Structure 1
């Protein structure tokens, strides 16, 4: 199925890209989350509008992203979570929790959808998260999970 991405999707593309995906992936994941729309002949106008908007914002946001990367790179944020006696959390630390911790630590505002956690954080300790600030700019941060 051919789709026009309306939001960046990790491993697939950025907004405005026309991608070919399996029907089930489109129906069950991308379309319900409004990450893409079905491609039509008239949809090419929508692609052109998305690309023009992205091009206009690209230069300004890239400078801001590089500044945010400088403040995030090498820094660590602390997240408190309920844990058992063995250090195992009663849930998991989510991207939303990390985004809130960055904001409370005085860092730049980061959208939780732009934070990627390679493995679910389910233990107390030190973990790493990847923050996509721009198409070409990303930062790795250290997440310290403490028992609340």
Structure 2
């Protein structure tokens, strides 16, 4: 019996595929549960049209993602933050901050969940951060975290012996 799958069925196939199954499996399980319909010429034609439309949409989204990747690949994002001892930040730079900086600097809205940052940035320095637009479209932005004032913060330990007037 030939059936056209309407949903993904584990160990059988994905939605839109034409499968040859035993009569009992099709009549007693797949068709009553709504996982498949009997494969007629009309159903097969509709499935092919849906698959073609889906491929066109996927290709269009791939082109959009590649154009977006070309715009943001290699862009440097500068963050000026307050730092404490050993160039550690008060707070951190997160994927939300990076998404907001891309929006402000380039006018491109990027979903924060697509920015691959294993953990928030907590030290000054330069970091290469991937932005996963699609599974194979991953531009890299350069995140540069600098301390306020341009120099690393140092702890003031009070006046030294040379600064104290002699009596």
* TM-score normalised to structure 2 length: 0.53
* Paired position in structure 1 for 2:75: 75
Distance of aligned partners of 1:85 and 1:132 in 2 relative to their CA distance in 1, 3 Å threshold:
same
Post-superposition, which runs of at least 4 consecutive aligned residues in structure 1 deviate over 3 A? Answer: 16-19, 41-45, 52-57
* Paired position in structure 1 for 2:58: 58
Greater percentage in strand = 1
Distance of aligned partners of 1:70 and 1:83 in 2 relative to their CA distance in 1, 3 Å threshold:
same
The CA distance in 2 between the partners of 1:54 and 1:80, in whole Å, is 44
Quote how far apart the aligned CAs of 1:43 are. 9.2
Q: How many residue pairs align between the two structures?
A: 108
* Paired position in structure 1 for 2:18: none
* Paired position in structure 1 for 2:143: 143
Which secondary structure does the structure 1 equivalent of 2:106 belong to? coil
1:111 aligns with 2:134: no
* Paired position in structure 2 for 1:86: 86
Which secondary structure does the structure 2 equivalent of 1:86 belong to? helix
Quote how far apart the aligned CAs of 1:91 are. 2.1
RMSD of aligned residue pairs (Cα, Å) = 3.3
Unaligned runs of 5+ in 2: 1-6, 11-31, 37-50, 149-167
Which secondary structure does the structure 2 equivalent of 1:144 belong to? strand
Deviations 1:128-147 (A, max 9, x none): 11101123211111101122
* Paired position in structure 2 for 1:123: 123
Unaligned runs of 5+ in 1: 1-15, 20-40, 46-51
Quote how far apart the aligned CAs of 1:44 are. 5.8
The CA distance in 2 between the partners of 1:89 and 1:43, in whole Å, is 55
